[in-house]
Structure formats: C-alpha cells, structure tokens
Amino acid sequence: MTLLFTGASSPLGERVLRALLPKTEYTQIWSGIHHRVPTVANPKLRSIQVRLEDEKLDLKEITPPLDLVIHFAGVTHTADPETYWNVNFRGTMRLADAARALGCRRFVYVSTRCATEGSGSYGESKLAAERGLRAMEWDRLLILRPAEIYGAGGKEGVDKFLSLAERFRFVPLLWGHKELRFAPLAANDFVTAATALIQMNQNGTEVLDMCGPEELKASSLAMRIAKKYRALPVPIWWPCLRVLLCLGSRIIVPDQLTRLIGRKTARHSTPNVILNRMTSRFLRS
C-alpha cells in the first residue's frame, strides 16, 4: 500500500508517522515536505514537496495508484485570517484533488473540535475543509477532531503552558469567561488511538471527536500545572487579553482568543471502542 503523509514535521504528526512505519501493510510512505524536513528515517520512507498554498499543487512524483492520504498539515497560528483559508481549506481541497487524480479513494483528515461556525478563521477553515471532503466520493473518509493535545512538545496551547511552568515556574491562570474550558488529551492516547483508527480497513465516512476523559475550567487546568511543576499561577483576566491585542501584542493572535471561547463540536469523545481507551487524566496518570 502506498501512503502519503503530510505534517510529519510537527511533533504530533511525527509521532503518528513513527507509529505507522513498522506496519507491514504500508510498503511505501511519501512524506510531504514544506518548510522543514522531518527527522524520521526509514527505508520505506520517501520525500515529496507539498506546498498546500500553491495553486498548482501536484503529486506527479508518486507513481499511481496512491492508496491513502493522512493529512496532518495545516496552519494553527497566524495573524492573517486569509492564510488559514488558503492553507487549511483550499490547500486541503487541492491536496484531495491531486490525490484523487492518482486513484486515491481513502483519506484521513486531522481536523479540530473547534471546527464550528463562529469559532474564528482557524476553526471555520477546518470546518469548510471537512465539508469539502465530505462532498467528494471516497471509499473511506476518516475525520478526527482532537481537543487540546498535550505532551507532544508543541509550542502552543496546553503544551505552551506546561513549558512556561517547567522553565520559568509560572503558569497563566485565565479567568473571566464561562467558556474557558479544556478537554486535555494526552499525546500518547491520541497517537495510539489515531494509529489504530487509521489501520481499520472499513468503508464509509466517520467523524470522531477525540477528547480527554475530563473537562476542566481554565483555572483548574492552571492549578494542576502549578502543582505539578511547583509553579506560580498568575491570574489573567480575560478582557486583559483583548487589551493586549488592541495594543499590538504579538504574544497572541485574535483568532486564538475566539477559538478558546468558541463553540466546540463536542465536550466528550465520540462513543467508540478505541476512543474509550483514552483514559489519561490531565497530569494525574
């Protein structure tokens, strides 16, 4: 089976790719390269330039048929809303069209539980990509909507809070809005579940929300981090973040604030045998 994997340069994407490499059913894996080359090395692994923002995206280096695409790549942090739409939505559609031209009829898309109307350009561009993919004919379309993943060494979200606590012994304690809630999902749980779901050879369309086993207020999240790392919780009133944006701060981008308090696709994981095994409680497992 020939597989195309995008987003392997991200900490989470790399871990899923490493988990798939030993599987014997994948005889050739193409890793899409954008700005950074993944550090993964394996005899069955090959590289191909995949620039989602390019109008003429093609995959001509891959000898057809292409059997499966696993699409992790996307923009998660930018001050330009159009970038979200050009990469996350139109780029995903260009990738899907190019893959189908090689005979591909199986597609795995890593979306977000923020893929809702009114959740900001990131979430809305992801939602548009979901709808675009579902309008196409696939033998198998798997859409994964993870919540806030931690433990993969990322530079945003909960991992950013963990890094601040570990390095500088302080953690932001956000308060002042009732929708400041998290469903932290351990990276190990996500990788194990995602790998198992990708390998399932069933047909049809499946959309799965992937959340941690508990939902936490932002204050509870901060206090757990503070206790774990003996860090100082620093209260930050929600409206203060808006003021920082008005003053031109580059610490955060407007979309991130909308994303935090926007509606989510789910507060708990979709009932599923594999997802039911994701039981790691935040900093308590």
Token pair for residue 43?
Answer: 């005899």
pLDDT tens, residue by residue, 227-273: 999 999 999 998 887 776 665 555 667 788 889 999 999 999 999 99
Query: Which is more confidently placed, 245 or 135?
Result: 135
- pLDDT of the residue at 59: 94
Q: Indicate the SS3 state at residue 203.
A: coil
Span of 32-36, 52-56, 186-190, 199-203 with lowest mean pLDDT:
32-36
| Cis ω before 65 (30° cut-off from 0) | yes
Cα angle: 76, vertex 62, 83; to 5 degrees: 20
- The chain-wide mean pLDDT, for the chain, equals 92
Span 34-92, pLDDT tens digits: 776 667 778 999 999 999 998 889 899 999 999 999 999 999 988 899 999 999 999 99
CA dihedral 193→16→143→27, nearest 10 degrees, is -110
27 within 8 A of 1, measured Cβ to Cβ: yes
For the domain made up of 2-150+185-213+265-277, give the CATH fold.
Answer: Rossmann fold (3.40.50)
In the chain, domain spans: 2-150+185-213+265-277
